[in-house]
Amino acid sequence: MVRVIIFIFILLTSIQTAWSQNCSSREASLIIENDSTLTLGDGTDRYYSSGFIALFRCHTDINNKDSQSNLAYRTLHWFEHNPNIIKTSKGLSFGQKIYTSSDLTLTPNEIDTNRDRPYAGWTYASFFYEAETLQDRYLRHEFSLGCVGPCSQTENMQTEWHELFGFVRPEGWDLQIKNQLTLQYFLEYKTNRYEVYPHISLHPRYKLSLGTVFNDISFGGEFIVGDHSNEDLDTPNHKYNKWDWHSAQL
């Protein structure tokens, strides 16, 4: 399974390189989440067990025609007059999420299917568009295609991972949900940042999810401590103090 992940990572890197010829800069990142290692969790590995996202982003010069055809760029111009967009990007991502019942040691016959979460895995690939304004507003469109069920290969991923590190073997995968194609759309919008105290600001965030996996509307935000802001960076002769701290997103 690890070899499959490496192959997909190399494949997506090649696709991203060919797709993003007009990039002013490129970015690659790997995000790993695991319930059993969360500092604030109890290490039970229950419900949302683990997941990862391999992400490849292409930053485009704002004066480039490719930047001005960016879907997020066009959306902000449709909603606002002269939104002062200073950053645009597009990219690809590949991710996987694993969901389990409350107790990994329970067999399918021991799991209460009326009250407990069934085993499930979701593997998907996405492409996305982003734009950010001088006033720190941010917009992101993401379109995802994937599958849930045995086709996601999450059973093999979790079982091999637990065997490798000597963790308890998950026993309930025979009860996982059936194969299903997934189509999902995500919209994220962050408004202007609001200063609530000197060097402390709030950045509200709105998210919309529509598709075959889940439908959801949520509101949250970030508390930011520091001097980082797009307007400050754009001010001539501004002395930028390179320190900030972001709280966990709500």
Q: What is the pLDDT of residue 149?
A: 94
Q: For 4-25, what is the mean pLDDT?
A: 65
pLDDT, tens digit, 9 for 90 and up, residues 26-84: 888 888 877 654 444 444 566 777 788 988 888 888 888 878 889 999 999 998 888 89
- Residue of higher predicted confidence among 10 and 168: 168
Could you tell me what percent of the chain has a pLDDT over 90? Answer: 31
Q: For 127-151, what is the mean pLDDT?
A: 94
Tell whether the model's pLDDT for residue 244 goes beyond 80: no
Total-model pTM: 0.79
Report the distance separating Cα 38 and Cα 53, nearest Å: 17
Where do the domains of the chain lie, and which CATH numbers do they carry? 2-193 (2.40.128.140)
Q: What pLDDT band is residue 16 in, cutting at 50, 70 and 90?
A: low
- Residue of higher predicted confidence among 44 and 230: 230
Tell whether the model's pLDDT for residue 227 goes beyond 90: no
Q: What pLDDT band is residue 122 in, cutting at 50, 70 and 90?
A: very high
Query: Which has the minimum average pLDDT: 99-108, 136-145, 211-220?
Result: 99-108
- Residue of higher predicted confidence among 139 and 222: 139
Could you tell me what percent of the chain has a pLDDT over 70? Answer: 77
Are 162 and 170 within 8 A, CB to CB? yes
Q: What is the pLDDT of residue 188?
A: 96
Q: What angle do CA 69, 70, 76 make, to 5 degrees?
A: 105
- Please name the amino acid found at residue 53: I
Q: C-alpha distances in angstroms, 126 versus 183, 212, 247?
A: 10, 15, 26
Are 86 and 230 within 8 A, CB to CB? yes
182 Cβ partners below 8 Å, 6+ apart?
122, 124, 144, 145, 146, 147, 148, 211, 212, 213
Q: What is the pLDDT of residue 40?
A: 45
Counting Cβ atoms within 10 Å, is residue 231 exposed (0-12), middle (13-18) or buried (19+)?
middle
Q: What is the pLDDT of residue 231?
A: 65
Q: What is the pLDDT of residue 32?
A: 83
Average pLDDT, the chain: 81
Tell whether the model's pLDDT for residue 182 goes beyond 90: yes
Q: What pLDDT band is residue 185 in, cutting at 50, 70 and 90?
A: very high
| 108 SS3 class | coil
Q: What is the pLDDT of residue 8?
A: 62
